[in-house]
Every structure is written in structure tokens, then in C-alpha cells.
Homo-oligomer: A and B are copies of this chain.
């Protein structure tokens, strides 16, 4: 592991990249111990503070973990699904909120990916998945539910659909898309009428899964997408009217 003395990037960034490369390439394996901070400082010819900044960068990406005390140190971390979820959700949420992504674009992406799960979910769903979805539908039928809780329940329902596909990689990939949509969804004010329609569409999805009918699940998701789009467009139009003619 070497750094380029010609580069004008921060030393701590270069060192972090060198170690990151070693981990990603498989040169360093899971649970392998890195040299101590002092040793790394000697190896790279920098001070300990610079090494520490590099290690903190890696820790922020869950690439290493540190342990104090004798025989402690920094170890290559096994990236678990849970940590990866967290990273993905944070990144996706910020990406959407900072880049003026249109509601339609995010919505389209989300439902496209969920439809990818539908055939697998119809085939592999267990009674537990069905009951989780049913529970959320019942919550959503409760008129006392706040808009935020309604959206949270919506996320939980879609999360259950994704998990029903029984593919952890798919769950991980879609978690970002579904969770990151929540702030955009929260902007929709759900009327009693629209809630009723959504519950109806969710129920159709549930029945399709219960019957292991992939085609009807796909249709239900298409209907949900187009109805959600309509709601979103109405909100945006109303907002435009307010700001356009105040």
C-alpha cells in the first residue's frame, strides 16, 4: 500500500483510498487486523493524526471497526445487510432531496422495481407475509391515522411485499428506493376518499399474492402507481396555483 507524493489530495484521503482498495480487492480479508495507528503512520510516513482521519473515513463507510485496548486495533468489518441498508437509505434519501427529482420520476422507479418483485413474491410469499400486509391494510383503514403514520404504514406494506420475494439482495436494493420515497410521499395529503381507494388497491394486491397470481399482482401495482401519480400531480398542481396566483 503506497500513496502518491505527487497528488495534491489530502493525505488522509489518499491513505483511506489505499486501504479501501486493499479491502475491496480482497487483499485484506474480513476480520483481518490492520497495523496499529502508529505503525501505519510509520509505513505511510505521516503523523498519527493523519492516519486517524483516514481510519475515521473508512469507519464512516462501515469498512472497518475499531477496538480499544491491548490486542485491539482496527479490523476489516464484515459489511452486514443492516449496515448496508442504512448507508443505502441515507444516500438515496439525500440524492432525491437534493436533486429536484420529480415526484413522477421517483414514483415510476419505485413501482417499476416493486413490479420486479411481484412474480417472486406471488410464488414465495408465506402466511406471515400475507398477515403482515393484511395488518397494514387494516391500519390504513383507520380514519384516525395521521398522514405521516399512513405513509409509514404504506412503506411497511411495500417492504413486506419486497421481503415476500425471498431474495435478500433484492430487499437490500429496493429498501433504498422505497424508504427514500417516503419524504416525497409525505407531501401528499390523503383525503378520506383517496385513502379508501388506496386500501382497495392494496387489498387487490394482497388477494393476488394470496392466490399466487403474479399477473393480478402486477396489475394491482400498475393501478397503484397510476393512482399515486394522480394524487401527486394534484398536489403539485394545487401548490402551483397557490404560488402562481397568490
Contact = CB atoms under 8 A, between A and B. Distances in A.
B109 A167 contact: yes
Interface string A212-234: 00000000000000000000000
* Oligomer: number of copies: 2
Interface stretch (A88-96, A143-151, A195-203): A88-96
Contacts of A119: 112
Interface in A175-189: 176-177
A70 interface: no
Interface in A64-102: 78-81, 84, 87-88, 90-99, 101
Contacts of A61: 60-61, 87, 90-91
Interface string A129-140: 000000000000
A126 interface: no
Given A12-B56, A94-B23, A170 B108 contact: yes
Interface SS, A side = helix
A90 B26 CA distance: 13
A113 B170 contact: yes
- Interface size class, chain A: 35 or more
Of A56, A99, A119, chain B has the most CB atoms within 10 Å of the CB of A56
A54 to B, nearest CB: 8
Given A167-B105, A176-B173, A84 B95 contact: yes
Of A60, A120, A165, A177, chain B has the most CB atoms within 10 Å of the CB of A60
A57 interface: yes
Of A23, A78, A91, chain B has the most CB atoms within 10 Å of the CB of A91
A49 interface: yes
Nearest to A173: B177
A184 to B, nearest CB: 11
**Closest 10 CB pairs between A and B?**
A116-B116, A57-B60, A109-B169, A60-B60, A109-B170, A112-B116, A53-B56, A84-B95, A79-B94, A56-B56
